[in-house]
Structure 1
Amino acid sequence: MRRRWTRPALVTLLAAVALLGAGATLVPGRAPGPATVVDRSPARELDAFVERTETHLATVPGDWQGWAALGLARIQLGRITYDPANYAAAETALRRSRAVRPDGNASALTGFGALAAARHDFRGALRWARLAVAADPWSADAYGVLTDAYVELGRYPEAGTAVQRMLDLRPDTGSFARASYQFELHGDQRRAWELMTRAREVATSPDEITFALTHLGELALGAGDLDTAAAQFAEGLARVPGQPALLADRARVSAARGDLAAAITDLRAATTTLPTLDHLMTLADTLTAAGQTAAAAETDDLIRVTTRLPGATPATTDIDLILFAADHGDARTAVARGRALLAARPGVPVETAYAWALHAAGDDRAALGHANRGLRLGTRDARAHYYRAEIRLALHDRAGARADLAEALKINPNFSLRYGVRARTVRTELGGPA
């Protein structure tokens, strides 16, 4: 599974903004061909859309669709910029939309569902999405939010039904991408790749294309195909130079190829622009692998500072926070966060993270149950197999540990800078191939 353990609400939000905006389009025209370089910032495009829409609404305050479109744009800005003020502004806009049209307003209901998902309140997202679907059974966007909620709540059969309905209504980048993730979770990498390729083929805006390229690269990277991953990331960076997620992904390819200096350069650029927890953790691991232990420790300290910032709730605790605590000697925090997050989002990635937290705390019998649940769909996740191998080893199940280590290294020999060397060493010690 990809380094980003959870998938946020997808680019359908961008499509919804364009559709709801009373004739205004977020990104005019069709996407350029593969050889064209596009130096566009999605945040800048969204800022421009927000400004146009706010000007329009000052003149026509009764445009309930315009208010809903403004709310969706603000949600996407919040996702891109990590500025929670956008979520508050989104909520205000969506409330205005419902005040103007309280009944049958599927657009605002969908927006509230997307807002709840952005805040990692997936039970709330499910409630709003159901209301949106009831108001408009033909709304692909409502089914997109419904799919996201079901996935994060671990209700995979319902998620499959919802995404199929979304595909039937509108086979676009958002619906194909969601369907791809369903197959990825169930271990069918071939179908996941095919559907994400379709997402790329039908993409009509630069941000949709970049989104699809990013996830195609991450699918390839997760399967250990460095050349394919590098090609996808390179195309994405040619279109949007300096895009932080693509820089971080390219860094992972460089690190897997042994070019730690190039990886560190890209990761420093990515974290300067967008210091997300997963990028910072990757930077710390890469610095450690390069022998720059002091710089790695400084990065770890920065992560600790960010985790103490106010505003975290059980529903917004991220998986990476659990893994960071488990990997840095704070098992009690890891377990507490894992337990809270599992209650809020009982999906397979959270089961895996909670298993690793329990292992760090020495409760390996409980950890094994959650590790098994994390792999119950057949997800081809090298790191999840490595975690279960360590748990089985702690329980003296050498054969089980050897099998999981072999599977982890088969799926992706470069799955972790932190644990890759140990995985190979222990597999050899247990009687596996050197």
Structure 2
Amino acid sequence: MRTLAIFAGFALIGAMIFTIASFSAAPEPEPVAAVKPSTETLQERLKRLPGDYRGWAELGSHYVDQARITGDPSYYTKAEGALDTAAELKPGDDAVLAGQAALAAGRHEFSDAVRLAERALDANPYSAAAYGVLADAKTQLGDLRGAERAVAKMLDLRPGVAAFARASYAAELRGDVDAARTYLRYAHQDAWLPADLAYARHYLGELALHEGDLVTANDWYTKALQAYPAYTPALAGQAKAAALGGRLSEALDIYERVVERLPLPQYLIEQGETQLKSGQQPDWTLLKAQWGLLESAGVRDHLTRAEFEADHGDPVLAVKHARAEYDLNPNPVSADVLAWSLYKAGKPEEALPYAKEATSTGWRNPLLRYHRATIEQALGRPARVDPGFDPSLSALARFS
């Protein structure tokens, strides 16, 4: 789901550089010459001030961001170490708890993320960061009303890119695409960091893509990369637009660059489906290796595993992973994946209630609508499958 991308969409430059700045203030009222800022890395600061619990919390949060930016799950282990140090130095600090909540969310432990975010808010009711993690985790747990309340608090406390992006996603999930687009435009207007500009432009592209406007989508992806060339989701967006537009060779060339930068399971599946569409046989070795790395770092990825097995592997195994995901996080996407896995396993009657649940919020996601219509048709019920939807590229219809 798109919410997971929100964690990594902000302050990427700061997360990559890990640099803090200190400025010497001029005494009043004597005029003095301007003093240039001195910089040191966060790690250097913590060597100098090992008791700086907020610094350790910040470092932990940076590592969480790095895990999502690079696709390297070993950063989660580093984040855990930094945040544990922060918690030992200052138990119950709101920034430390918010960082621990973000780490739990990164590992898909959303119930723990809610618990930790709520503890952070008990310590500091004005923590916009904690409300952001709370909104993300509640979305993943299927508590969309609770997520919207958290987003509203975040908008009150700190209206900006992070809050507008979450408000956009909340609107999108209830089917209000116009409001979703408006909030993303607010985020775009508020953004000044290149990575934040890229983030907003990328998701404006995603909205256009899923409305079938490939030209506008590709334009936004291109503008995102102009703002921040290292923003891989926008590069993947260009690959999706090319593939869905029938330009398969171009799409595969772009996907090669995408997975070299960021070999996330979602991108590897998209690449594999594009290869199949072009008559090539994909090699899923790297995909399976990535799942192994995620598991070793404590990250559960039942969702994409179930999606993959349903469409390209063992439907029985797909049902197993889909049930595990739904039991933990009963949101629209997990309901859809469980419905589709059951259908592919030959159980359309059992699948239909989950397909209805997946589409009950009003979310106008083409993949969810295709799955429900297909299941209803299998049961002899009247349903219209969008003739413009390409089921052979179903992974490309997921929001990144």
The interval holding the TM-score normalised by the smaller chain is 0.7 to 0.9
Matched, 1:84 2:68: no
- Aligned pairs, how many? 377
Aligned to 1:430: none
**How many Å apart are 1:230 and its aligned residue?**
1.1
SS in 1 for 2:41: helix
Q: Which amino acid aligns with 2:253?
A: T
Matched, 1:234 2:222: yes
- 1:110-259 equivalent positions in 2, closer than 5 A: 110-241=98-229, 243-259=231-247
**How many Å apart are 1:329 and its aligned residue?**
4.0
**How many Å apart are 1:158 and its aligned residue?**
0.8
**How many Å apart are 1:214 and its aligned residue?**
1.2
Structure 2 CA distance for aligned equivalents of residues 259 and 419 of structure 1: 16
Structure 1 CA distance for aligned equivalents of residues 298 and 42 of structure 2: 34
Structure 1 CA distance for aligned equivalents of residues 44 and 292 of structure 2: 38
- 1:368-383 equivalent positions in 2, closer than 5 A: 368-383=352-367
Structure 2 CA distance for aligned equivalents of residues 53 and 152 of structure 1: 31
Structure 2 CA distance for aligned equivalents of residues 284 and 245 of structure 1: 17
| 8 Å CA contact retained: 2:19, 2:42 | no
Deviations 1:2-37 (A, max 9, x none): xx555344358639979xx99649xxxxxxxxxxxx
Sequence identity percentage: 35
Matched, 1:390 2:391: no
**How many Å apart are 1:222 and its aligned residue?**
1.0
SS in 1 for 2:91: coil
Q: Paired residue for 1:106, among 79, 94, 97?
A: 94
The 1:310/1:173 distance shift into structure 2, 3 A limit, reads closer
Matched, 1:352 2:327: no
**How many Å apart are 1:327 and its aligned residue?**
0.8
Structure 1 CA distance for aligned equivalents of residues 116 and 10 of structure 2: 15
Deviations 1:249-299 (A, max 9, x none): 1011112222111111101111122121221211122122222x23x3x2x
The 1:88/1:273 distance shift into structure 2, 3 A limit, reads same
Aligned to 1:429: none
| 8 Å CA contact retained: 1:289, 1:417 | yes
**How many Å apart are 1:84 and its aligned residue?**
2.4
SS in 2 for 1:10: helix
| 8 Å CA contact retained: 1:17, 1:72 | no
The 1:126/1:142 distance shift into structure 2, 3 A limit, reads same
Gaps of 5+ in 2: 23-38, 396-400
The 1:208/1:71 distance shift into structure 2, 3 A limit, reads same
Aligned to 2:303: 319
Gaps of 5+ in 1: 26-48, 421-434
Deviations 1:334-370 (A, max 9, x none): 0000000011111011000110000011111110000
Structure 2 CA distance for aligned equivalents of residues 102 and 63 of structure 1: 13
Aligned to 1:57: 46
Q: TM-score, normalised by structure 2?
A: 0.87
Structure 1 CA distance for aligned equivalents of residues 293 and 50 of structure 2: 37
The 1:145/1:78 distance shift into structure 2, 3 A limit, reads same
Aligned to 2:393: 418
Aligned to 2:31: none
**How many Å apart are 1:123 and its aligned residue?**
0.3
**How many Å apart are 1:303 and its aligned residue?**
2.9
Aligned to 2:265: 277
The 1:302/1:92 distance shift into structure 2, 3 A limit, reads closer
**How many Å apart are 1:141 and its aligned residue?**
0.3
Q: Which amino acid aligns with 1:91?
A: E
| Higher mean displacement: 112-121 or 272-281 | 272-281
| 8 Å CA contact retained: 2:294, 2:300 | no
Aligned to 1:36: none
Aligned to 1:96: 85
- 1:23-34 equivalent positions in 2, closer than 5 A: 24=21
The 1:141/1:246 distance shift into structure 2, 3 A limit, reads same
The 1:117/1:333 distance shift into structure 2, 3 A limit, reads same
Q: TM-score, normalised by structure 1?
A: 0.81
Q: Paired residue for 2:64, among 67, 75, 79?
A: 75
Structure 2 CA distance for aligned equivalents of residues 123 and 170 of structure 1: 24
Structure 2 CA distance for aligned equivalents of residues 61 and 370 of structure 1: 51
Structure 2 CA distance for aligned equivalents of residues 5 and 202 of structure 1: 20
Structure 1 CA distance for aligned equivalents of residues 375 and 123 of structure 2: 47
Deviations 1:15-63 (A, max 9, x none): 9979xx99649xxxxxxxxxxxxxxxxxxxxxxx9x7111111111222
SS in 2 for 1:269: helix
The 1:285/1:201 distance shift into structure 2, 3 A limit, reads same
Aligned to 1:362: 346
| 8 Å CA contact retained: 1:222, 1:415 | no
